[in-house]
Amino acid sequence: MSAQDILVLGETKQGAPSDITLELAVCARQLAAQTGGQAIVVLLGPEGKQAAARVVGADRVLVIDDDALASYMPEPYVAVLSRLLESGKPRALLAGSTSVGLDVAPLLAARLNVPIIGGCQKIEAADGTLKVTASFCAGKMLADLEVSATPAVVVVLPGSYRAAAEGAAPQVETIGSPVPLEPDPVRFEQMILPAVADVDITQQDVLVAVGRGIQQQENLALAEEL
């Protein structure tokens, strides 16, 4: 790992990389091309071994294989990531604006006393500086920021980058935890998935919306044909 590398806090879901992980891999690859480093996705826990080869867009995937990371808990995640950032000193760590990312990123930045930027929609690297466009006030305001301190923790909004449809498989490395992981005072019990009552529109390629202009129930057939 070098000072030009871009790390990504990867997430998995049922043995596959999450959508935000694939999006961040593309973002990291673009940044790494500008810094002269590599895009490295970090997957924490045994499930990462199954998902690693499917992380399209990254140069490398680093799997931290430790049973203490089998289920998400903030303290073990922060402990491992802190050591990786302290030892490798990458240019930045990207995290998704998800329940995991929003949990880990502030804790990590506070522990390492490094800058953190949230709500990011666009990131570029030039002249040793990260240039970030961040969204505030529910998207009503945008701010252009520059960060020169390293490593910076950057939280990226889902949908800001398009995941790669295909690409070469990344180089995968599996290691144990770089730090001893103590039992977390918070214990994971089980994951309860919400019942799916309708179509998940976030997974659809095309959405067709109709309003009052449709006028009559019979006219819905026109939209359904689309």
Q: What is the CA radius of gyration of the chain?
A: 19
Closest C-alpha among 43, 54, 45 to residue 16: 54
Which pLDDT value is given to residue 127? 84
pTM, full prediction:
0.82
Tens digit of each residue's pLDDT, the chain (226 residues): 788 889 999 998 888 899 999 999 999 999 999 989 899 999 998 888 888 888 888 889 999 998 888 888 889 999 999 999 999 889 999 999 998 999 999 999 999 999 999 989 999 988 888 898 888 887 788 888 888 888 999 999 998 888 887 777 788 889 898 988 877 777 777 777 777 666 777 667 777 777 777 777 777 777 777 6
Residues 6+ apart with CB under 8 A from 100: 9, 11, 72, 77
Assigned architecture for domain 6-175: 3-Layer(aba) Sandwich (3.40)
Q: Give dist(CA 80, CA 23) in Å, integer.
A: 23
178 phi/psi in degrees, rounded to 5: -75, -5
SS3 214: helix
Which pLDDT value is given to residue 85? 93
The amino acid at residue 213 is: G
The amino acid at residue 157 is: L
Which pLDDT value is given to residue 226? 63
Angle between helical axes of 74-88 and 99-112 (0-180°, round to 10): 50
CA atoms within 13 A on the CB side of 155: 20
* In the chain, alpha helices (H): 19-35, 47-51, 74-88, 99-112, 220-225
SS3 91: coil
CB 52 within 8 Å of CB 11: no
Strand partners, 34: none
CA atoms within 13 A on the CB side of 191: 7
Q: Give dist(CA 109, CA 114) in Å, integer.
A: 5
Instruction: Give buried/exposed letters for 99-136 (b at 16+ CB in 10 A, else e).
Output: ebbebbbbbbbeebebbbbbbbebbebeeeebebbbbe
Is the preceding omega at residue 90 within 30 degrees of 0, hence cis?
A: no
Q: Where are the domains of the chain?
A: 6-175
Distance of CA 169 to the CA centre of its chain: 18
Residues 6+ apart with CB under 8 A from 213: none
